[in-house]
Amino acid sequence: MSTITPELVSLDDGLGGDKAAVIKALAARVVAQGRATDADALFADAWAREQKDETGLPGGIAIPHAKSSAVTEPSLAFARLKPGVDFGAPDGPADLVFLIAAPEGAAEAHLAVLSKLARSLMQDDFTSGLRAAATPTDVVSIVRQAIGEEEAAPVAATAAPAAAPVTATAAAPAAASVAPGLEVEGRPARLVAVTSCATGIAHTFMAADALTAAGKKTGVDLTVEPQGSSGYQALPQHIIDSADAVIFATDVDVRELQRFAGKPVVRSGVKRGIEEPNELIAEAVAAAKNPAATRVSGAGGGAGTAAVATESLSWGARIQRILLTGVSYMIPFVAGGGLLIALGFLLGGYNVTADAATVITQNALWNLPPGGLGQYLGSVAFMIGATSMGFLVSALSGYIAFAIADRPGIAPGFVAGAVAVLMNAGFIGGIVGGLLAGVTAWWISSWPAPRWLRGLMPVVIIPLLASIVASGLLILFLGRPIATLMTWLNDWLTALSQSGVGAIALGVVLGLMMCFDLGGPINKVAYSFAVAGLAAGSASNPAPLLIMAAVMCSGMVPPLAMALASTVLARNLFTPVERENGKAAWLLGASFISEGAIPFAAADPLRVLPASMVGGAVTGALCMALNVQSYAPHGGIFVLFAIQPIWGFLVALVAGTVVTAFLVVAFKRFIAPKELEAAESGLTAAAVPA
């Protein structure tokens, strides 16, 4: 099937006065041709990409694009607009607009075809042909030749393979002179570049071609590695080693960053690679001549490095991102371990903890303990889960260090986490140890090491020295004070959870935090606090179990309430898209996935979030008042066997859900009703993410 057909082409039609209207119209064409199932969903995905970075480009071009689960066949929808529409390009409105629609799991071959289109848009004869085309059929022919679906025309010959490195001087050996200032040691500067964008379809390859063209024009020796969704071909290491400097024109982490360790580097977003390639080349040459220039960290990475991704963030945002990275890697240990512990209780009873270790070492399937098969399997599940939970602090610490220093930070971070456990410093000690290990590893990686030593830095020297510094500081100075703080905190929480009014107040606070930003930093703080203490929960120390139950139950409220309001109580107050989201929110909420309410909050935050917080506070308070305990850190109603009393959990959940649902309906009915009338009339039928 062709990627573009005449029915997907609009010539000189008015599709609306702004870019949202144009994208909606093109998405509707894709759906009308049976290439996607839901125009609203396709628009939402393309619009989300547009909100991250506008897709207007110099020369009157715009390429809104998305990978979407609604797309069933890779497609190009094209519009030639009169007048043009502003897509955020620096030189004015766009009159040539391509909507690139790729399936969520598009094959590499399909993505390569779409990337060829992006590269062709950098060619003047291609865009001139589109502006001169008389019929949709002419447009289809021009485009299909460019992407290789018809016999190659001259325009197609200029399109390089989608994932291959692009070399400026190899393509234009006739470049005789170098632009002033772009020489290093009396010869043309040797540069390498990496380009990548969030979707890896369009901007990645357009930036690669723009940099390549600029390299030809200026006479520098420039080789570009586009890292797109269709894969990438890594630059030969000898080319990287001989380069004077590196350009990273990327919106996502650079893959295999350690290949560029020690090189002077210039970093920017991918769009600047398209719009200002000459400036990037000049900056890279200047960095090559500057001994104090920023260099690629010697800490090698696999999928990416936090240093690249966080460079433009404030210190507060960096610290938040670092801590959340540690939490995100820790959660699988906790979730899997907690569910296995809960399964152990289900099979072997709550007394399985007394002798589980003895049972699994002294018994077997052919030599069952007195409690029979249930006790044996329960002991096995419990011990596997307890072992997994034992990695909680080490994983938190190790991946906090990873977020700062990449792979060389993992080992000292894990060691520091283990030392924190040894010192009874708990998860606070793990956080401190991870930060110490990460900062130390990052600092050591910045040392100017000779080339022969660089290979040993990330695998031997950095982990060794960072482990000594971070763990040594914990043992000698920080461990005991943090352990004292943890003891005080646990005692205070235990007393608070047993004090009636204090327990209810704690439940209210936890409920408010879980519903404040629906999976954001505040939500994650409350959840991390709960799961970090879960391993210490027991019949004699129920506070962590109470906190876990309040957190999980409160986090289920927003999506369930939005589902109830939009599909049962007041369907007419919600847009068609919201009603569809409401159907999915039933399952998301039941599974304890707070993010199920995000589509509603994004479209209407001032009414959805306050209502959610009230319901979450009610649920948290009731959980504490009814003494609800959870041995599982995740799962919602699917782990009811690990919750006691079940009836208390369900009562708290239903109460909070109903309160939030009715508040949302009331807010929508009586606050700013004109906005709702506009939404129902179709003026804002598709919610634009905030």
DSSP 598-667: HHHHHH-HHHHHHHHHHHHHHHHHHHHHTT-EES-SS-GGGGGGGEESHHHHHHHHHHHHHHHHHHHHHH
What does the chain come to in residues?
690
CA pair distance 445, 85, nearest whole angstrom: 48
Peptide bond into 83 cis (omega under 30): yes
Name all contacts of 17-24 with Cβ < 8 Å and 24+ positions apart: 17/85, 18/85, 18/86, 19/50, 19/56, 19/62, 19/64, 19/85, 19/86, 19/87, 19/88, 20/47, 20/688, 22/64, 22/79, 22/81, 22/85, 22/97, 23/47, 23/50, 23/64, 23/99, 24/686
Pairing of strands 94-103, 61-62: parallel
CA pair distance 401, 407, nearest whole angstrom: 9
CA pair distance 356, 661, nearest whole angstrom: 44
CA pair distance 666, 602, nearest whole angstrom: 18
Q: Are 533 and 547 in contact (CB under 8 A)?
A: yes
Which residues are registered as beta bridge partners of 36?
71
Question: Which residues, including other chains, have CB under 8 Å from residue 454's CB and lie 6 or more apart?
Answer: 261, 262, 298
> Is 634 marked active-site?
no
Give the ranges where 474-520 is alpha helix by DSSP (H).
479-497, 501-516
- Measure the CA dihedral 13/16/18/23, to 10°: -80
CA pair distance 79, 82, nearest whole angstrom: 10
Smallest Cα–Cα separation from 601: which of 638, 559, 639, 573? 559
Q: In what order do the strands lie in the sheet with 221-226?
A: 166-167, 221-226, 190-196, 245-250, 265-268
Q: Are 257 and 296 in contact (CB under 8 A)?
A: yes
> Is 65 marked active-site?
yes
- Residue 639, amino acid: V
Q: Are 370 and 318 in contact (CB under 8 A)?
A: no
Residue the block writes with tokens 């210490």? 536
Rg for the chain, CA atoms, rounded: 29
Peptide bond into 481 cis (omega under 30): no
CA pair distance 584, 571, nearest whole angstrom: 15
Q: Which of 110, 197, 203, 515 is catalytic?
A: 197
Pairing of strands 94-103, 183-184: unpaired
Smallest Cα–Cα separation from 168: which of 218, 207, 118? 218
Residues with catalytic function: 65, 197
